[in-house]
Chains A and B, each alone.
Chain A
Amino acid sequence: MSTATRLYLSNDTSARAAGAGVLADAWSEHPEVQLIRISSRGAFFLEPMVERDSPAGRVAWFNVTAQDLPLILSGTDGTPVRSIPFLAQQTRFTFANFGETEPLALDEYQARGGLSGLETALRIGPDAIIEELRVSQLRGRGGAAFPVWNKWKVAQQARADDKYVVANADEGDAGTYCDRMILEGDPFRLLEGMLICARAIGAGRGYVYCRQEYPAAAKTLRAAIQKADEAELLELDGEPFPIEVVEGAGSYVCGEETALLESLEGKRGVVRARPPYPAQSGLYGRPTIVSNVLTFASIPNILSRGGAWHAALGTKQSRGTMALQLGGRVKHPGLVEVPFGLSLHQVLEQFGGGMAPGSRFKAVQVGGPLGSLFPASQMDIPICYDAFAKAGAVLGHGGIVVYDHETDMVDLARHFMAFTADESCGKCTPCRIGSVRGREILERIQSGSGTIEDLALLHDLGDTMKVASLCALGGRAPYPVLTAIEHFPAEFRSKLRT
């Protein structure tokens, strides 16, 4: 019998980028260590984090270096995982397995309640599945927050020789990484969600469109699919339900569902006008459900625990939990799963732990590169779709990036417009030309030759892009720029030519 000590170390990409990879390499030759590569708990500020079992549950060491091994093996100075506030204050359902299981261990997944949602789905049938989702009031987590049951109903009722289920794993919003964590850390949950969807709408094939920047995610998912296939899970009503992982090629707008479908067909990832919606006519013109990874991953729990359970969490319009992803100059960047309703301030203080050392707060951006900026004065906004909509902002995919006092708001605004200009698919005029014109104006201001008319023009252009763009890339692009001007007018004015 081996006397080696079981140590748990995350194999998540960010954990590795923080040093877990180096640790694993350094310790691979130590016979006294049995290294178990698990998913990450998401407390990335603590990574690389090493855990070992104790009678009172897991004990952890933070920001470990290779030299810490003796300390860990001797069991000194460890912190009980349960007592880490960042984790203890969260409400983990979708991310309940994180830090606990090996991503590709199907038996562990099942032992922790996995696949019971699928079992229910298979038992109750399409109508009842969709009814359960209706009751749950789950809204899509990819950004648009559309009621999931509604979309499924359309696809279910559409008559076609083929239907498809597509998981949107493009996760293009900078500042977000929860999809990546699921793909790498709990892939069976995604597959289970997709199978439930396929069962509900009668689909015969599934795709996961994974951004090319996530090689480890694609690899893990492919391995998971193979395991699921070996376990004969990829089958519905006696028919195979193959799932394929398809990688993108670096286009942000390919996260937009119709552009994604074009790209999945191997074409230019250009946005399609809607209607028809993908649920009516999607991949190859067939009814297709495109949903975000997190959305799919939320579904197994709803089926196993019931829609009412889900509806009981969160706020009136935003039910369930939200995976928030903290980044930027916050002290404790990482994944936070909490029910909707906490204020932005609470989230940043309670979980974010305030600002990174040496930094003073300037602004926070929620919802990725197209999300609005909030100054200190607006921090009491509740995390909830409605409150954000009312403020002209979006929750998006839950990314929260904090900027500190060193941030140059004019440069940041230019950075946003340049991003849109770079990523515009080029189909519609307001975005194709407008984003470049917007960037040019900001460059003028930055170089000191902008005028007050330029600011007015930027506003007018922004308004046009907001209402006239075909998709939300052009439509949302003005928000971070215009909120930067709104909240930090002096920085812009001081650069103008007088």
Chain B
Amino acid sequence: MKLEINGRPVLASPGDTIYSAAKKAGIAIPGLCSSDDLAPFGSCRLCLCEVEGQSGLPASCTTPVREGMVVHTESERLNRLRRNIVELYLSEQPAGDRAPESLQWLAKSLGLRQVRYPQPSHRQDVVDRSNPFFTFDNAACISCARCVRACDEIQGTHALTMLHRGFASRPVAGAASLTGEEAAGFASSNCVSCGACVKECPTGALMEKTVAEQGPPERTVRTTCAYCGVGCAFDAGVGDGTVVNMVPADDGPSNQGHACMKGRFGWTYNYAPDRLRVPLLRQGNQWVEMSWPDALDRIAHEWVRLRDTYGPDALATISSSRGTNEENYLFGKFMRCVVGSNHIDNCARVCHSATVTGMMDTIGASAATNSIQDLDLAKLVLVVGANPTESHPVVGARIKQAVRRGAALIVIDPRRTELARLADLHLQLHPGTNVALLNGLGHILIQEGLIDQDYVRDRTQGFEEWVKVVESCTPETTSKVTGVPAHLIAEAARRYATSGGSMAVHGLGMTEHRWGSHGVMALVNLALATGNIGKPGTGINPLRGQNNVQGASDVGCLPTFFAGYQPFDNPELAAAHLAITGRPLPTTRGMKTPDMWDAAIAGTLKSLWIIGYDVAQTDPNLKKVHAALKSLEFLIVQDLFLSETAKLAHLVIPGASFLEKDGTFTNLERRIQRIRKAVEPPAGVLPDWQVVCEVSARMGYPMWYGHPSAIMDEIAQLAPMFAGVSYDRLEAPEGLQWPVPSKEHPGTSLMHEHSFPKGKAQFVAVDYLPPGESPTETYPLVLITGRILQHYNCGAQTRRTGIMQVVDTDVLEIHARDAAQLDLHDGEIVRLVSARGEARLPVMVSDRVQPGELFTSFHFPHTDLNVLLSSSADESSKCPEYKVSTVRIEKVLPAGTPATPMRVMLIT
């Protein structure tokens, strides 16, 4: 579409407004209330323009472009109006320099010298500091409602509103202002501190506390969030050698300018006083500080000794899904080339290993088939066993946006999560019954002729076997097993099949089960039967957990595959490996993490090197894990903090955080993105990749890399799916989505468009089998464990930030009926008892759980939660059954004991 702005020809697309078209063409129109990320609003009226042939002065930010339009955005008349508007703004602001900079700048550029309104009424002087991370100063606000709209349109939390009307209208959080508690708005609201409002605010009325205290940043460094698998792009603001703020980047491909509490504000652990700064060696009950050279020597010494005495099987590494691709690759290389085994794993094991098995056996590739941006195209989103508004908040917000746009939403979850509340259909099944439910949906598809026959014929095999299995899964039987009403099962199946583009996302509610892989297969079967794979806005999309859990597996931190999921027995790979590394590729499969515990207890495993993974808190059946760790002769733990695992180590090595090193992460949509060093690590601290290089050299195999980019070049040489990846290409803000088979290949946002890796996809018929445990009289309740928004996994990082002011404990969520039966009240401490052990934590009545079921998180070590869990795991993947344990509740203190004060915020 062609138009003319200020005499210049400008190209625009149909969705553009004059404002956005001008902006793209480099023509700046003054404006305070519009934003690329928000719907047109038109409140400040600074962006008025003249359109030839049209009377009046339309606001350019709300006027759509038309072919051939002739627009003027600058004229004496417009200038005068803008000056008058800025004058009005300034008239309600505090005098002088206290007025927001953006207004002062506008005043200056428009030639406004003096405000002609004498002693007028001005804004109410209200400051709300109740959010831990930012403040709101009403005096500096211009009531443009960008914050409110950000909260509604971007984040979908609706924590903000404009209050009152007319001159008095101003933004507030929650409803506290109505009762005069003006300064407590944010704390009283459902604000999730995503920071979207702060970013949108054009005046600084909303401002990060760190910026207020330390001043605005001097420079920014583009990097990627190191918490969850969404992989939000950030600009780290740096001033005086320290990080001042983290602002999500508009051109971030997976986040498009959005973020969540953890990435936006939860980075201050970087400056926690108890960050590890020097290597620590255990001497009896004491830690003694060690110099770096001594520590590295010590590792090399112990591992050479143990390898030479007991053979390579005495050593193993668990690498960190929190670390970079390059680091993970190097740890794998170290094990294979220096130790000579495949005894390496990462915490994908406890997380989405069942997804890997389930998708490999059906589709032949184990990563998300589609991209996050496909949520904009999906007609229906099916969320199975995932809680994205807490675990992947930016994806969660995007799903809420899709719903706002009119997409249908179906949630399969035993809990009433935020998305479940918003959903068209919530199938509230009993934990551990995914296979039954998904087969039940399949039954309807066949009964009602909702199968995509062409797709099934052309692109799949094994359909008939699947039909045979689901035939018996009538709504009635399914309902009996799952607890989901039959009509909901039928309705969900119909909608999924007929939406015109159904996108499935799944999480640990799928995988962390006795039959997790089967659950994934049952889901894939539905997608295949309805033709919902290989098209935009569809697919099977595991919401991979940690920032680089996808990448750690991709680059070969697995006992079963080399980088790029290549089998060890591939002769071409073996030759290439030998040529490039100078060492043969060991061909025997290594130990998976649980095998390592067994080997340690059996005494065959002598040393473990654990990098950034707090197994002593987060693995299941903790008594066993602790026993295993204690049986080791030499435990090396490399971490940012003295984690529960580090406390058991013989040698602790400090790590450099993601803000302190270069590298890449691969997010949940297979997108490889750069992290960049923004600040220096604490004096002397080496990033994990340099540590392994140093140790390797000391063990006689020097690995010299000038920069992580060289490591990536080596990965590209050895793994065909990364063949086209290089750091110069990763400079582009959008990174690269694998597979990238060549330098010319643009990367793959949509997989399996024309064929599957194995040609045709395979239906794998699976029968429902019950979870490892069912309620008994002694253990009558089913405990589900999982995440809350505010804290992250072992909590080592989030517990060292202002997030503690929002949530400072795990709580046991219990349904009101059960609570009444057990006479339990909010805040009372209870003992949770399972066949394995017991944990203590406060209870909270919650309508997120059903009667007979409990939920809690595992973010606080003193809860000791994972002691309760068994070693039951998915048969093929060894993914632990974190989601189903049977327990009973015992009161710890007599009734009437006052509840412990606690900070808790349940997302509903």
Contact across chains for B166 and A437 when beta carbons are under 8 A apart: no
Contact across chains for A426 and B84 when beta carbons are under 8 A apart: no
Distance between B881 CB and nearest chain A CB, rounded to angstroms: 44
The one of A422, A433, A457 in contact with B92, judged by C-beta atoms closer than 8 angstroms, is A433
Chain A, Cβ-Cβ closest to B161: A268
Which residues of A (383-442) have their CB < 8 Å from a CB of B? 421-430, 432-437, 440-441
Verify if A467 is at the interface (C-beta below 8 Å from B): yes
Inter-chain CA distance A436–B81, complex, in Å, is 18
Inter-chain CA distance A429–B121, complex, in Å, is 15
The one of B64, B88, B161 in contact with A433, judged by C-beta atoms closer than 8 angstroms, is B88
Known contacts A429-B85, A434-B88: does B43 contact A467 (CB below 8 Å)?
no
Known contacts A437-B117, A464-B84: does B57 contact A429 (CB below 8 Å)?
no
Inter-chain CA distance A4–B38, complex, in Å, is 69
Contact across chains for B121 and A432 when beta carbons are under 8 A apart: no
Contact across chains for A424 and B165 when beta carbons are under 8 A apart: yes
| Contacting residues, chain A, for B59 (C-beta < 8 A) | 273, 470
| Contacting residues, chain B, for A453 (C-beta < 8 A) | 116
Verify if A468 is at the interface (C-beta below 8 Å from B): yes
Verify if A105 is at the interface (C-beta below 8 Å from B): no
Which residues of B (73-96) have their CB < 8 Å from a CB of A? 81, 84-85, 88-89, 91-92
Contact across chains for A426 and B85 when beta carbons are under 8 A apart: no
Contact across chains for A430 and B143 when beta carbons are under 8 A apart: no
Tell me how many residues of B have a C-beta within 8 Å of chain A: 36
Contact across chains for A433 and B89 when beta carbons are under 8 A apart: yes
Contact across chains for A470 and B45 when beta carbons are under 8 A apart: yes
Contact across chains for B121 and A440 when beta carbons are under 8 A apart: yes
Distance between B120 CB and nearest chain A CB, rounded to angstroms: 6
Inter-chain CA distance A253–B427, complex, in Å, is 43
The one of A275, A429, A435, A436 in contact with B43, judged by C-beta atoms closer than 8 angstroms, is A429
| Contacting residues, chain B, for A270 (C-beta < 8 A) | 162, 165
Contact across chains for A429 and B88 when beta carbons are under 8 A apart: yes
The one of A275, A421, A426, A469 in contact with B164, judged by C-beta atoms closer than 8 angstroms, is A426
Contact across chains for A470 and B42 when beta carbons are under 8 A apart: yes
Inter-chain CA distance A441–B143, complex, in Å, is 23
Which residues of A (85-106) have their CB < 8 Å from a CB of B? none
Distance between B79 CB and nearest chain A CB, rounded to angstroms: 12
Contact across chains for A273 and B42 when beta carbons are under 8 A apart: yes
Verify if B62 is at the interface (C-beta below 8 Å from A): yes
Inter-chain CA distance A421–B40, complex, in Å, is 25
Contact across chains for A429 and B42 when beta carbons are under 8 A apart: no
Known contacts A268-B165, A273-B59, A467-B81: does B88 contact A428 (CB below 8 Å)?
no
Chain B, Cβ-Cβ closest to A433: B88
Contact across chains for A425 and B81 when beta carbons are under 8 A apart: no
Verify if A313 is at the interface (C-beta below 8 Å from B): no
Contact across chains for B162 and A430 when beta carbons are under 8 A apart: no
Inter-chain CA distance A454–B622, complex, in Å, is 78
Report whether over half of chain A's contact residues are helix, strand or loop; otherwise say mixed. helix
| Contacting residues, chain B, for A145 (C-beta < 8 A) | none
Contact across chains for A467 and B169 when beta carbons are under 8 A apart: no
Inter-chain CA distance A433–B404, complex, in Å, is 32
The one of B45, B117, B162 in contact with A429, judged by C-beta atoms closer than 8 angstroms, is B45
| Contacting residues, chain B, for A251 (C-beta < 8 A) | 165
Inter-chain CA distance A481–B168, complex, in Å, is 23
Distance between A126 CB and nearest chain B CB, rounded to angstroms: 26
Chain A, Cβ-Cβ closest to B121: A436
| Contacting residues, chain A, for B169 (C-beta < 8 A) | 425-427, 432
Contact across chains for B88 and A425 when beta carbons are under 8 A apart: no
| Contacting residues, chain A, for B41 (C-beta < 8 A) | 273
Distance between A75 CB and nearest chain B CB, rounded to angstroms: 56
Verify if B48 is at the interface (C-beta below 8 Å from A): yes
The one of B62, B88, B121, B165 in contact with A426, judged by C-beta atoms closer than 8 angstroms, is B165
| Contacting residues, chain A, for B81 (C-beta < 8 A) | 464, 467-468
| Contacting residues, chain A, for B117 (C-beta < 8 A) | 437, 440-441, 457
Known contacts A432-B143, A460-B84, A468-B81: does B162 contact A426 (CB below 8 Å)?
yes
Inter-chain CA distance A441–B120, complex, in Å, is 9
Contact across chains for A467 and B57 when beta carbons are under 8 A apart: yes
Contact across chains for A468 and B45 when beta carbons are under 8 A apart: yes
Inter-chain CA distance A430–B45, complex, in Å, is 8
Contact across chains for A435 and B167 when beta carbons are under 8 A apart: yes
| Contacting residues, chain B, for A46 (C-beta < 8 A) | none
Inter-chain CA distance A440–B143, complex, in Å, is 20
Distance between A285 CB and nearest chain B CB, rounded to angstroms: 8
Contact across chains for B91 and A437 when beta carbons are under 8 A apart: yes
Inter-chain CA distance A461–B87, complex, in Å, is 10
| Contacting residues, chain B, for A430 (C-beta < 8 A) | 45, 85, 88
Verify if B56 is at the interface (C-beta below 8 Å from A): yes
| Contacting residues, chain B, for A469 (C-beta < 8 A) | 45
| Contacting residues, chain B, for A433 (C-beta < 8 A) | 88-89, 91-92, 167
Q: Which 8 A-B pairs have CB atoms at the shortest separation, nearest pair first?
A: A426-B169, A273-B42, A424-B166, A273-B62, A433-B88, A464-B84, A436-B167, A468-B45
**16 A–B contacts, CB within 8 A, in A order:** A268-B165, A275-B62, A421-B166, A423-B166, A424-B166, A425-B169, A433-B88, A433-B89, A433-B92, A436-B120, A436-B121, A437-B88, A440-B120, A453-B116, A464-B88, A470-B45
A428-B42, A437-B88, A464-B85 are known; give 16 further A-B pairs, CB within 8 A. A268-B162, A270-B162, A270-B165, A273-B41, A424-B167, A425-B169, A427-B145, A429-B45, A429-B85, A430-B88, A433-B89, A433-B167, A437-B117, A461-B84, A464-B88, A470-B59
